[in-house]
């Protein structure tokens, strides 16, 4: 089981040094101009050098057939959860086109065998996912005493050569995860070059990915400054850099400066890990990360599908694709998210780069199982010349639309509705090339009245730390009939702010918090209860809420 996410944030002294480090990085980066990059790339492009599969050209990741490929996917902790291979099918069903798979070379955790790695690659291909394989044992080398070296990781990959040979169309080798800590990060450059050369000397033709030092976040700009020398050390030019963005990247300027520096230099880059929920180190600006990646056509891989010791970064709760956290909803269904921007690799034959034909309009949705806060919608599936990959359900209000839900099938349950309210819904279909259908006809729904059942609420802070705490809320149905669909409301008195919740979806304005249920907590049986957990920021005080309402009715407190 993972004991730490493997990403150390800057301490206060480090944050003071960041500005100076950035200035030094920009000064050295002046040599990384596009004209120099192009000249050096042309010098390497000697006759007889062939792209075996996924490869880099002019700073872009291309498939073997020359089509541009932009990764939109997630990280999956396979080495700690080897039985959760169903996760690959689950992330694909939610729209991902790639997955970064955590492996171990045996230095720190149990080594993943050649047979196990071969099965992972087979499962990735079966689910039409590009597979980024990474060794995690290198995390934080130089600062983390248990970490292994890049050289040891390179030897592990060489031991897998028979498994990986011939998979260049489908597999990217990420030599080692976050292979240097914050202690003397300048030591990252030479071992990285040596590991790349070792793999090329062993005959690997795959795209190689290298992670940054500073626990992947490169806040001292070592990778940014030395990227050209590392790239030039790979005589095939088939190398891509990976930056991990967590709370070091809490402003739009930091994010755009870093990503643009590589693009302007003609050097390939993706966001190999990133997080969004706030923590005690800061609040990452995931909206800018995702928007900038989309604008620059850079890949991103969110951390992580499930299984974190601290569940704040779990995209799915308990590996259940039907129980996405608020972080998971953001990644898969939010603006610039996976469902909206992912395109399947053409090597799987599912996407025609010239596909401009939109799917047909879905059938008129019909509503069923309407409660006070939810409604189930079903419609006749759309058709497409290549294939429909998903549907977007929108709420229609006059001439405007608001996205209400997304689905990979022709049905969905829309939640978070208000009791005794009229809604109008319609559906769009989309294909893998990003073509969107005409809108379906609309259906009108009026939600039911709020149940008058009795309730009680138990609230406690289960753990606190400077600037934050973890809370638990138990909602009990003290009535004699089940409550189907609910909205819990309460108010924080001391400026507490919820950043992540499991069991429900919070909406907060000032101190007022409104919570709607997850699918698995939407029904509270008679004499039964459901439990919510959350992470929140706080100041010097953390007074518990004193009053709660469920569907507008006051609850007793316990």
Asked if residue 443 lies in contact with residue 377, where contact means CB atoms within 8 angstroms, the answer is yes
On whether the CB atoms of residues 338 and 94 are closer than 8 A, the answer is yes
CA dihedral 542, 545, 550, 555 (to 10 degrees): 140
List Cβ neighbours of 347 (8 Å cut-off, separation of 6 or more). 53, 63, 64, 65, 169, 170
Helix (H, G, I), strand (E, B) or coil at 377: strand
Of 63, 167, 168, 178, which is the active-site residue? 178
Give the tokens for residue 22: 């950035």
Tell me whether residue 178 is one of the annotated catalytic residues.
yes
For β-strands 208-211 and 239-245, DSSP reports them as parallel
Is 273 labeled as catalytic in the residue annotation? Answer: yes
Catalytic residue among 167, 273, 286, 344: 273
Q: Please, are residues 330 and 308 in contact by the beta-carbon 8 Å criterion?
A: no
Burial category of 242 from C-beta neighbours within 10 Å (exposed 0-12, middle 13-18, buried 19 and up): buried
Angstrom distance (rounded) from CA 471 to CA 460: 6
Q: Which residues of 27-45 are buried (b: 16+ CB within 10 A; e: fewer)?
A: eebeebeeeebeeebeeee
Q: Which residue has the tokens 């001439």?
A: 399
Q: 152: helix, coil or strand?
A: helix
Query: Up-side HSE of residue 141: CA atoms within 13 Å toward CB?
Result: 26
Burial degree of 66 (CB within 10 A; 0-12, 13-18, 19+): exposed
Contact by Cβ (8 Å): 529, 477:
yes
SS3 state of residue 451: coil
Q: Which of 415, 24, 118 is nearest to 425 (CA)?
A: 415
Q: How far apart are CA 530 and CA 517, in angstroms?
A: 10
> What's the token pair of residue 411?
């049905």
List active site positions: 178, 273
């Amino acid at each position: 089981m993972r004991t730490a996410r493997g990403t150390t944030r800057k301490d206060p002294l480090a944050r003071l040094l960041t500005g100076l480090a950035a200035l030094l990085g920009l000064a050295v980066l002046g040599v990384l101009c596009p004209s120099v990059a192009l000249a050096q790339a042309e010098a390497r492009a000697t006759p007889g050098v062939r792209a075996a599969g996924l490869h880099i050209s002019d700073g872009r990741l291309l498939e073997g057939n020359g089509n541009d490929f932009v990764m939109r996917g997630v990280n999956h902790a396979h080495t700690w959860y080897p039985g959760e291979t169903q996760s690959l099918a689950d992330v694909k069903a939610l729209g991902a086109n790639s997955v970064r798979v955590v492996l171990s070379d045996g230095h720190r955790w149990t080594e993943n065998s050649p047979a196990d790695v071969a099965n992972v690659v087979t499962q990735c291909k079966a689910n039409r996912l590009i597979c980024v394989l990474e060794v995690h044992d290198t995390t934080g080398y130089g600062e983390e005493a248990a970490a292994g070296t890049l050289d040891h990781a390179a030897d592990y990959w060489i031991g897998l050569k028979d498994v990986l040979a011939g998979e260049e169309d489908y597999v990217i080798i990420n030599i080692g995860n976050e292979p240097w800590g914050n202690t003397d990060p300048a030591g990252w450059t030479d071992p990285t070059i040596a590991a790349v050369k070792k793999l090329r000397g062993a005959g690997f033709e795959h795209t190689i990915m290298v992670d940054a030092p500073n626990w992947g976040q490169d806040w001292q700009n070592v990778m940014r400054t030395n990227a050209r020398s590392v790239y030039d050390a790979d005589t095939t030019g088939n190398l891509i850099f990976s930056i991990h963005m967590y709370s070091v990247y809490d402003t739009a300027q930091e994010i755009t400066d870093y990503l643009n520096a590589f693009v302007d230099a003609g050097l390939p880059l993706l966001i190999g890990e990133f997080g969004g929920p706030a923590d005690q180190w800061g609040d990452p600006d995931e909206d800018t990360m995702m928007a900038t990646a989309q604008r620059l056509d850079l890949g991103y891989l969110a951390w992580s599908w499930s299984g974190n010791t601290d569940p704040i970064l779990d995209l799915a709760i308990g590996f259940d694709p039907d129980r996405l956290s608020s972080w998971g909803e953001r990644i898969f269904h939010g603006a610039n998210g996976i469902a909206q921007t992912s395109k399947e690799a053409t090597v799987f034959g599912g996407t025609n780069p010239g596909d401009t034909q939109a799917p047909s309009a879905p059938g008129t949705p019909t509503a069923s199982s309407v409660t006070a806060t939810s409604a189930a919608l079903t419609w006749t599936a759309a058709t497409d010349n290549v294939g429909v990959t998903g549907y977007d359900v929108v709420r229609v209000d006059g001439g405007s639309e608001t996205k209400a839900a997304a689905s990979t099938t022709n049905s969905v349950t829309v939640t978070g509705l208000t009791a005794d309210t009229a809604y109008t819904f319609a559906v769009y279909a989309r294909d893998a090339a990003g073509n969107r259908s005409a809108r379906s006809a609309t259906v009108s729904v009026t939600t039911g009245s709020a149940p008058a059942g009795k309730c009680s609420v138990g609230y406690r802070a289960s753990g606190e730390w400077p600037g934050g705490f973890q809370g638990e809320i138990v909602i009990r149905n003290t009535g004699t009939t089940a409550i189907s669909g609910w909205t819990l409301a309460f108010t924080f008195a001391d400026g507490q702010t919820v950043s992540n919740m499991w069991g429900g979806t919070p909406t907060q304005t000032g101190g007022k918090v409104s919570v709607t249920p997850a699918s698995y907590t939407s029904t509270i049986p008679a004499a039964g209860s459901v439990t919510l957990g959350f992470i929140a920021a706080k100041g010097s005080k953390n007074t518990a809420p004193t009053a709660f309402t469920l569907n507008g009715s006051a609850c007793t407190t316990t």
